[in-house]
Amino acid sequence: MAAQQQELDEKNPFYELVVICSTSGQFDQTVNSFKDIIKKSKLVCIKDTELLDWIKKYQRRVLKYNAINEYINSKFKDPNEEMQRILEKKHFRNKQKEIEYISKKLQSYDWKTYPHRCLLILDDFASHPLLKNREQDMCRILKKLRHFNISVVICVQTAKSLSKD
């Protein structure tokens, strides 16, 4: 049976965003081998030195995106804590300005699914410095990414290279 991409429906993949992180910062032979089956998800490559900053920025975007969608689903009546912070920061004069801001923000994200799901693939990260010590920021963040609908795959060449922590 050939590998195929998982979908929510005909138009939307399960993972709208697939992020490959490697030390080279580009698609290598491993990625190129399965790149052809990823047709509906946006495929992005980031360098390992930019990973922590990328994750933190993505988490902020997910918080805002989820807050906006929850607010819309409540018919603009019940803002959660994050949405309340946005509304207080922006000081909208009327509901029309608020709706314009929300529309522009959703357009700028260009995400089609709610909740937005991301697959983060860490290529050759078995002995990577970011994962050496479980007390490091990256290790702590990896444990919480499921709350942001981010699934993580750590690719290694041998199981011996995995940390027992």
Structural domain including 26 reads: 17-158
Q: Which amino acid is at 100?
A: E
Pairing of strands 17-22, 118-123: parallel
* Interatomic CA distance for residues 13 and 8, integer angstroms: 5
98 exposure class (CB count in 10 Å sphere: 0-12, 13-18, 19+) = middle
Domain assignment of residue 6, yes or no: no
**34-50 pLDDT, tens per residue?**
777 788 889 999 999 99
- Structurally, the chain folds into a number of domains equal to 1
| Residue 93, CB-side half-sphere exposure with 13 Å CA sphere | 1
Domain assignment of residue 10, yes or no: no
Domain assignment of residue 151, yes or no: yes
Residue 102 has pLDDT above 60, yes or no: yes
Q: pLDDT class for 2, splitting at 50, 70, 90?
A: very low
- pTM, two decimals, is 0.83
Domain assignment of residue 4, yes or no: no
Domain assignment of residue 163, yes or no: no
Domain assignment of residue 5, yes or no: no
Residue 32 has pLDDT above 80, yes or no: no
pLDDT at 164: 61
pLDDT at 6: 60
What average pLDDT does the segment 110-118 reach? 92
Q: pLDDT class for 24, splitting at 50, 70, 90?
A: confident
Are residues 162 and 126 in contact, defined by beta-carbon separation less than 8 angstroms? yes
Q: Which of 27-36, 80-89, 106-115 shows the lowest mean pLDDT across its residues? A: 27-36
Domain assignment of residue 73, yes or no: yes
pLDDT at 163: 61
Q: Which amino acid is at 36?
A: D
Domain assignment of residue 2, yes or no: no
Q: Which amino acid is at 58?
A: Y
What percent of the chain stands above pLDDT 70? 88
Residue 5 has pLDDT above 80, yes or no: no
Sign of CA dihedral 98, 115, 6, 26: positive
